[in-house]
Structure 1
């Protein structure tokens, strides 16, 4: 059995550690680095092969940061109250305010801490994503981020084992005793003084998705890693962890229906929804496409699509929208007439034409400006389009088929500000700490705002690693 550096590992290499970190993405890596900062010996188990390491984090681009003034990577200022209001709005108030504000305040130090490990950032982002003031973008994206963290972890002496699938956690009351881990087909018993669980949600487990959603989930696509099977989450629940979150809630966006089942990543997202209309397979609109800026509303569209017949939708735009959004990796269907586009998308021609005609007639005069909540709206139709409404009348016409793309689920374990796991009997787990998707449901009861998952993972990863190391030392 080899470590990440090629060193052959003995049984002692697997057993004699202060902190065991289960997971291989952003939160796990932040925990491992933070624990090493405190002098703890750390073993990190990544269930994926080395080439697929990093979990969902490898598909990310940015994290959302509070800041009081312009920085080298963020413009203007983004203060606590505005940040929290954004979180409150998208979650509909389903958030633990104390934990949310704790993350928001701690996010102010994230970019400097990350830079200390070699992470590099792009200059402040412009354009219609409206993120240059709020979100810091990693140079090279999430893959570069996790690669940088892995290199730092190796330099600092973290023992990393790939294809190490934690099957079960064994507790002694509310104390973690050991994990049963499948490594190279052999089940190993691995103990540590403290454990950080940062193994993600259950979004790649089709049986669990069906348990939550029913058969409609068979039409869902998984934007991220295929390795988030939820085994450790299930084991936490079996050991009496206090559960938080709704299993049907998660980060679910509208992605290109032609994307692969797993690991399509961010390039499969369709960002032109606010610039046109979205119809279901019957050719009918079903929601306000211009409700709010895309980074605050894109994550509702996965659930909306999931509720439509066949769990599919279609984004329809015309020539006026071209060049105003980041295109999907797949080219749009293109046609000179709406009739031709309907045929290409297998939509009922007469219904689509009626939908577009009704929409066009309802568009009111206004000044189009995609950088603000403009006054271009409809009147007299249901659903209304409240911003960026323009007639769809300038050929060529374009269409993207849409499916529900699950990024991560919100069901998890309840934690406190020190990332300690709460037990269902009201006690705190003695030596169990959570970070990342497996505890994000404490803060994200529903909805999503761009970059916040990485913020939660970074902040709670650092907290969990530090607290686990402190427990191990004592």
Structure 2
């Protein structure tokens, strides 16, 4: 048992590192407990690639401007209003100063990626991706004297009245305890515990893929909820996207995501379309497709595109299935050939004038008389060869989490837990009631990680 640590930070991703660095810069002694082995440190953050950032005028790699109100409006669209406006606006406003802070802590940025992302004005892209960001933060944390323990499996936080009295964890084959002055929980959601996911979703969850880290099993979250720490969010709500059906069960990451949906039709196993593929620009709608696929038979969908659309999006790590005819493509994807051909023919007939087709913005090129309609980018699928991908639900992180206030502090029904803060995905449900906005998870983690680190250090000091 050790009692010489001011602050224990549980987790090893972006939010945890932001908290640890901030607390160390405030003069506190900090210990990070990261469940993963060192090569897999960083949680879901190592799979990220950008940070959504408010800015008044050009800012770093960002062009033009992106106001607080426009940012919040974008968030309202994807969450259908299910958000805490005070916390959301806090994250949005603070994001502008975070970009400079990130650079000061070793993060480098690059011009935005092109294609369906269309994010040059709203999102700052990390040079080297999330893994580079994570490595930079670990270097900085170590230079600040932060102690980092890998393969440190936290098993219990002892809540006594309104304080966390000790932290129990397994490390190097031994049961250990720390008695810190303050604790920051930044250990993500519960998505890697597929039994918990199945209890929330039912049997369909058995077919889900977990695109993020296999180490976010919700152990600390469950432990605190069992002790009466206040929760927020719906266990069935999550950041879930449509990913390549050939992706691994865990840790496939962002390279398994498919960005071709706006230029395709998407059918279920029966060869039937079920949703508007062109509803909005991809960064505002890609995260709904995981849930849409989850609602289809066997939790699987199929993308169909033709030759003229193949170069309009960033490819998956897996090559598409290719065929010279729709019937051949259907056979290769185990779809009913006649039904797929009929579905494509019906779609093609509903397409009108495509002269205003524009792949990176809403173009209004829509179908007519078709249900469901395709409201943008509706061009006939008629130029061979034809290409297809299978789609499965890829869960990134769950939204059931710890409820926090504007200081990132946790509470029970009796009031605040005096020395407990939360940041990142483990409290993102405080802001994300449903849906997702590209790059916003990194915004939440960075903003509330810094707040949690600052407040924990203030308490410890």
Length-normalised TM-score, structure 1:
0.96
Task: Find out whether 1:390 has 2:379 as its counterpart.
Answer: yes
| CA deviation after TM superposition for structure 1 residue 126, in Å | 3.9
Q: What is the 5 A alignment of 1:14-413?
A: 15-366=3-354, 367-413=356-402
Find the aligned partners of 1:184 and 1:302 in 2 and give their Cα distance.
38
| CA deviation after TM superposition for structure 1 residue 379, in Å | 1.2
Contact 1:75–1:124, Cα closer than 8 Å, also in 2: no
| CA deviation after TM superposition for structure 1 residue 71, in Å | 2.0
Task: Find out whether 1:455 has 2:443 as its counterpart.
Answer: yes
Find the aligned partners of 2:222 and 2:364 in 1 and give their Cα distance.
48
Q: Which runs of 5+ in 1 are unaligned?
A: 1-10
Find the aligned partners of 1:173 and 1:261 in 2 and give their Cα distance.
40
1:444 corresponding residue in structure 2: 432
Find the aligned partners of 1:375 and 1:196 in 2 and give their Cα distance.
47
Contact 2:279–2:374, Cα closer than 8 Å, also in 1: yes
Contact 2:352–2:366, Cα closer than 8 Å, also in 1: yes
Q: What is the 5 A alignment of 1:415-426?
A: 415-423=404-412, 425-426=413-414
Q: Which runs of 5+ in 2 are unaligned?
A: none
Find the aligned partners of 2:270 and 2:450 in 1 and give their Cα distance.
48
Find the aligned partners of 1:379 and 1:324 in 2 and give their Cα distance.
24
* CA deviation vs aligned residue, 1:405-456 (integer Å, no higher than 9, x gap): 0000000011000000021x14111110000000000100000010000000
SS in 2 for 1:128: helix
1:470 corresponding residue in structure 2: 458
2:416 corresponding residue in structure 1: 428
SS in 1 for 2:154: strand
SS in 1 for 2:247: coil
Find the aligned partners of 1:110 and 1:440 in 2 and give their Cα distance.
18
SS in 1 for 2:110: coil
| CA deviation after TM superposition for structure 1 residue 382, in Å | 1.1
> What is the CA RMSD across the aligned residues, in angstroms?
0.9
Contact 1:72–1:124, Cα closer than 8 Å, also in 2: no
SS in 1 for 2:164: strand
Aligned pair count reads: 460
1:5 corresponding residue in structure 2: none
Contact 2:115–2:314, Cα closer than 8 Å, also in 1: no
Greater than 3 Å deviation, 4+ residue runs: 124-128
Find the aligned partners of 1:48 and 1:191 in 2 and give their Cα distance.
22
Contact 2:5–2:178, Cα closer than 8 Å, also in 1: no
Find the aligned partners of 1:191 and 1:412 in 2 and give their Cα distance.
24
| CA deviation after TM superposition for structure 1 residue 72, in Å | 2.7
Find the aligned partners of 2:218 and 2:78 in 1 and give their Cα distance.
25
SS in 2 for 1:368: coil
Find the aligned partners of 2:360 and 2:424 in 1 and give their Cα distance.
31
Higher mean displacement: 396-405 or 362-371: 362-371
Find the aligned partners of 2:263 and 2:140 in 1 and give their Cα distance.
42
Find the aligned partners of 2:13 and 2:344 in 1 and give their Cα distance.
44
Find the aligned partners of 1:223 and 1:291 in 2 and give their Cα distance.
24
Length-normalised TM-score, structure 2:
0.99
Find the aligned partners of 2:448 and 2:222 in 1 and give their Cα distance.
20
* CA deviation vs aligned residue, 1:331-363 (integer Å, no higher than 9, x gap): 000000000000000000111111111111111
SS in 2 for 1:204: coil
Contact 2:116–2:259, Cα closer than 8 Å, also in 1: no
| CA deviation after TM superposition for structure 1 residue 239, in Å | 1.4
Contact 1:18–1:41, Cα closer than 8 Å, also in 2: yes
Find the aligned partners of 2:286 and 2:296 in 1 and give their Cα distance.
17
